[in-house]
Structure 1
Amino acid sequence: MLVIHGVTRSRASRIVWLCYELGLEFEQIPVIQAYRLPNADAPDAPLNTHSPAFLALSPAGAVPVMQDGDLLLNESLACTLYLAQKAGGPIGPTDATEQALMMQWSFYAVASIEPDALTILFLHKPGQQQPGEDVAIVTNAAERLIRPLRVLETHLSTHAYLVGDRFTVADLNMAEILRYAQGHHELMDQFPATRAWLDGCQARPAFREMWARRLAEPE
């Protein structure tokens, strides 16, 4: 059986969502991020990214890790792209061209959107009093996201999805990364087609199932 090491409140969410889309059975081992614990190295600490048992699987000490038989993968996008191709069907590529486009959009998301989107996730607190330094950092991150989001908006203004006019692993990967920035409404309101596409992705039953699993975990 497929094994996912990592809590759903991590990039493991991408793999869990895809498993629900594909109807794949999986076992999830809830490895928590060490930074979320008061003392990750304490003898009674739960299994975490500092635990020797986990470091044997991931020397970098990062979740998620996925095991599929003898295959061990450490990068979430490698995991989702692999599973989509292996499973076949509409969510994966039908040929080499689609495979290349799915990789292109996934890599674009992680390289051009994820760093600044994560900054917004961690520092943007709408409706709360915030340090001026944090406000400036968020403002700069949002400004840097305008260029890549314009690329996405241009495509989604004339296409329902990223590849092949159907929901694929490329949409899943992009949506899970863009989710980090969706709470910045002033930014997202500039890109109505992108916002509508993201809403559609998150309305899918498989996303809702993953999200319920995520919310059931301790914060």
Structure 2
Amino acid sequence: MITLYGVYRSRATRPLWLLAEANVPFTHVPVIQSYRLATPMAADAPLNTLSPAFMAISPQSAVPVMVDDDLVLTESLAITNYLARQYGGDLGPQGTAEQAQAEQWALFGGISVDLPGIDIIYTYADGVHETPDGIAKINAAVGRLVRPLERLETLLGTTDYLMGGRFTVADIMVAECLRYAQTHKPLHAAYPKTFAWLARCQARPAFAAMMEQRNAEPA
């Protein structure tokens, strides 16, 4: 039985979206990030990433974590890829070539897209996106996104989805990494095919259900 640790307001959205798409039963254990709590070690603190019970599962003190029988995985994209292979049917890679492609897209999203997007979304969330420092930070992040987004734009000029001509785990992983950057509207105009693809992915009922759960959690 799958157990997934982590709140929706974390990178747990990636495996949670996959599980919603595949309609796979699982146990969800909300674990909040310790930095969001004033006193994470207090006796009455909610289960968080510094709680001893969670640290026993994940000494790295980060969410999400997945436990499936004896297997423990602690990286969101690895978890999502595993769930797609084991339980995702057509969402998962079909054959060794697609398995390699899925791994490639996981690395692409995690290395090339995720962190610049984080810089963008936090600059907007902190309300400093129009300050000189905020503008400089966003411009630097956009500069780091140019090459990966040009790659996506070229590919998505020939296909609707990233792998196998169908919606798959590859789309979930990269779309959730790119979601952080979508706050910056000039990117939509610069890469229209890429953001049309992102809109297709986010129009899926499973994504909407996952985001409804996320938005219901305290910010």
Partner of 1:123: 123
Partner of 1:147: 147
Q: Is the 8 A contact 2:128 2:134 kept in 1?
A: no
Output the amino acid matched with 1:138.
Answer: I
How far 1:139 sits from its partner (Å)? 1.2
Runs of 4+ in 1 over 3 A off after TM superposition: 125-131
How far 1:125 sits from its partner (Å)? 5.3
Q: CA separation in 2, counterparts of 1:135 and 1:212?
A: 30
Q: CA separation in 2, counterparts of 1:206 and 1:112?
A: 25
Say yes or no: does 1:94 pair with 2:91: no
**Aligned with 2:170: secondary structure?**
helix
Unaligned residue ranges in structure 2 (runs of 5+): none
Partner of 2:211: 211
How far 1:203 sits from its partner (Å)? 0.5
TM-score, length-scaled by structure 1:
0.96
**1:15-164 to 2 correspondence within 5 Å?**
15-124=15-124, 130-164=130-164
> Residues 130, 190 of structure 1: CA spacing in aligned structure 2 closer, same or farther, 3 A cutoff?
closer
TM-score, length-scaled by structure 2:
0.96
- Please give the root-mean-square deviation of Cα atoms over the aligned residues, in Å: 1.5
Q: How many residues are aligned here? A: 219
Q: CA separation in 2, counterparts of 1:128 and 1:85?
A: 41
Q: Is the 8 A contact 2:22 2:88 kept in 1?
A: no
Q: Is the 8 A contact 2:8 2:213 kept in 1?
A: yes
Q: Is the 8 A contact 2:123 2:129 kept in 1?
A: no
> Residues 126, 64 of structure 1: CA spacing in aligned structure 2 closer, same or farther, 3 A cutoff?
closer
Say yes or no: does 1:169 pair with 2:163: no
**Aligned with 1:4: secondary structure?**
strand
Identical amino acids, percent of aligned pairs: 50
How far 1:188 sits from its partner (Å)? 2.5
**Aligned with 1:141: secondary structure?**
helix
Q: CA separation in 2, counterparts of 1:125 and 1:38?
A: 20
Q: CA separation in 1, counterparts of 2:62 and 2:68?
A: 18
